[in-house]
Amino acid sequence: MVNEDLNSMIRRVRIISGIVLFLYSATHLMNHSFAVVSIAAADVVREYFLMVWRHPVMEIILFASLAGHILLGVYAVLTRRSFKMTLREWLQTTLPFIAMIALLQHVSANAIMSRFYGVEDNYELVFSAVMVDPELATMNTVFYLLMMIFIWGHGVIGINGLLSYRAEFY
């Protein structure tokens, strides 16, 4: 009984934290998409994005969701009785670990620049930094594109699993 309640609570925390992270990813990518229009447009949308996600309460929710989702994901892998999984389960398990490499660099660079050096991390600065070395720009583009695909794929698989699980009860 207690084990069932614990598993139910762990599942609920993973779902809620996953939804928070998916919403953050969706709004973050939406903000980036405005750079197709112009850097100025992306910076205008960025102000609204930051108004929400850099609010102290939302930052706590975001980072708690990130930490909780990672820890519970590792816990889920370590407590599996068997690694016999479907392709969907393998992708759901491996994609985030691969994406974490790029994500750690991305998050730490932005956090260090904005928090410790007071640099306003706007799109003009990002594009200027990227264009300093064209070869590095190409490598970073591929690196971040793969990170985006892996994180988005992980989120979509998770939401699909959640909706399939919920549909069984109706």
With cut-offs at 50, 70 and 90, classify the pLDDT of residue 70. Answer: very high
Phi-psi region at 121: left, alpha or beta (left = phi > 0; alpha = psi -120 to 50): beta
The dihedral formed by the CA atoms of 26, 31, 35 and 39, expressed in degrees to the nearest 10 = -160
Mean pLDDT over each residue of the chain, to the nearest integer: 87
For the entire predicted model, the pTM comes to 0.85
pLDDT at 149 over 70: yes
Q: What letter would DSSP give residue 114? A: I
Q: How far is CA 27 from the centre of its chain?
A: 11
Total structural domains within the chain:
1
The parent domain of residue 90 ranges over 2-167
